[in-house]
Amino acid sequence: MHLSTKVNTMEFSGTMQISGKAKELKAQGINVIDLSVGEPDFPTPQRIKNAAIKAMEDGHTGYTMASGIIPLRKAVGKWIKDFSGVEYNTNEIIVSNGAKHSLYNALQTIIEVGEEVIIPAPYWVTYPALVEIVDGVPVYIDTTSESNFKITPNQLKDAITDKTRALILCNPSNPTGSVYSKSELEEIGKIVIENDLYIISDEIYSRLVYDDFDYVSFPSLSPELKKKTILIEGVSKSYSMTGWRIGFTAADKEIISGMGKLQSQMTSNPASISQYAALEAISGPQDDVEDMRKIFADRREFLFKALNEIDGVKAENAKGAFYLFPDFSSFFGKSYKENKIEGSMDLAMYLIAEAKVATVPGSVFGAEGFMRIAYATSMENLAEGINRIREAVSKLG
């Protein structure tokens, strides 16, 4: 069988693979605690489900405009303005099939073959894959837990070449949960302008920040930076709508028009029913979002303490998203029975096999030594998961 080199050399999404494995084991009746996937455990709020049912009953079951229905694009504009003060017209917004699709469309629209895209590591698994799909070249900036996994202005300057076209910033970050402050973003913004780069600001976790952190959305920094920003947003995380597949992009109208052209050829519109559900999600009462955020905040506190109570684990707390990214490297080089732990992938496999707990190894995010633990699951599951991890790692010697 001949497969294209591009597909042959591509990795399966590491996060999807591990969560798929957890789902498979669960289907076999094995009691697996899944701390791997970045997916809220809450049902989609009832008001949103009702809007989807109503959309079907009202006959909204045909094609829509390829870039999304006008009422939803208008509502996205208002939703962004209410959150960060930044104004986008309807022709500066496109609705796609999940934020993952928004990111692909954006990259395909701005990247020429061989152009470089800077990606801070640890990175969400999909960024390098998407850059490669569009024939761009990912360029990584390694960060450490000492800098809270954030890039410094000097690191960014050093990574820029005459081939650099864009920087992808995930803020709040998947996988580390780190959030950039206003002054940190301003320093990055200066370099973006000086070097005439685009910034793809993935803010899908923008509504999930804790400790009263003063979250700043990148395009709100200045009108000049707004011009250079491709803002990625969506409903998957904050409205617990991962399966509905709706993502948003807000950017300069020429970029949005390019993305619209691409989308019209590749997928046509995102599901009409999901669009009406998303319209209700972002324009109806927002109490459910805040209720879910508070539950995440409590789980984060619990997880942070519980992880640090495990001998050999070092966790920093993080201000956003629903992940912690603790250091497990003290277990590397150890073993139990036939299990030898050389790195984070071995550890993830050991934890699934021995403890029946799914986590994502740091290596898939370009950061060996760490494990991503998602707290998008119940407190009971978290407590049980941590107990099992503690027991399993204590056997390593």
Give contact residues for ligand GLU (rule: CB under 6 A).
13, 15-16, 37-39, 100, 124-126, 174
Q: Which does 389 bind (CB under 5 to 8 A by kind): ligand PMP, ligand GLU, none?
A: none
**Structural element, H or E, at residue 155:** helix 153-159
Piece in contact with ligand PMP (CB under 6 A), picked from 78-86, 132-140, 149-157, 234-242: 234-242
Contacts of 308 (CB under 8 A, 6+ apart): 314, 315
Give the C-alpha distances (Å, rounded to integers) separating 264 from 11, 91, 206, 307: 27, 15, 28, 47
Nearest distance, CB of residue 235 and ligand GLU, angstroms = 13
Q: Which of 107, 215, 213 is nearest to 168 (CA)?
A: 107
Stretch 140-199 residues interacting with ligand PMP (CB under 6 A): 170, 174
Stretch 244-263 residues interacting with ligand PMP (CB under 6 A): 247
Q: Which does 13 bind (CB under 5 to 8 A by kind): ligand GLU, ligand PMP, none?
A: ligand GLU
Residue 281 lies near ligand PMP (rule: CB under 6 A): no
Q: Which does 45 bind (CB under 5 to 8 A by kind): ligand GLU, ligand PMP, none?
A: none
How far apart are the C-alpha atoms of 264 and 131, rounded to whole Å?
A: 21
Contacts of 111 (CB under 8 A, 6+ apart): 117, 131, 134, 135, 136, 165, 166
Residue 98 lies near ligand PMP (rule: CB under 6 A): yes
Contacts of 157 (CB under 8 A, 6+ apart): 191
Retrieve residue 220's tokens: 């709100």
Residue 242 lies near ligand PMP (rule: CB under 6 A): yes
Q: Which does 202 bind (CB under 5 to 8 A by kind): ligand PMP, ligand GLU, none?
A: ligand PMP
Phi, psi of 48 (to 5 degrees): -75, -40
How far apart are the C-alpha atoms of 379 and 356, rounded to whole Å?
A: 17
Q: Which does 16 bind (CB under 5 to 8 A by kind): ligand GLU, ligand PMP, none?
A: ligand GLU
Q: How many residues does the chain have?
A: 397
Q: Which does 130 bind (CB under 5 to 8 A by kind): ligand GLU, ligand PMP, none?
A: none
Residue 234 lies near ligand PMP (rule: CB under 6 A): yes
Nearest distance, CB of residue 208 and ligand PMP, angstroms = 11
Give the C-alpha distances (Å, rounded to integers) separating 80 from 31, 203, 377: 41, 11, 28
Give the C-alpha distances (Å, rounded to integers) separating 42 from 33, 39, 120, 206, 304: 16, 9, 30, 18, 21
Nearest distance, CB of residue 100 and ligand PMP, angstroms = 3
Nearer to ligand GLU, 22 or 396 (CB): 22
Nearest distance, CB of residue 90 and ligand GLU, angstroms = 28
Piece in contact with ligand PMP (CB under 6 A), picked from 93-101, 112-120, 272-280, 376-384: 93-101
Nearer to ligand GLU, 100 or 228 (CB): 100
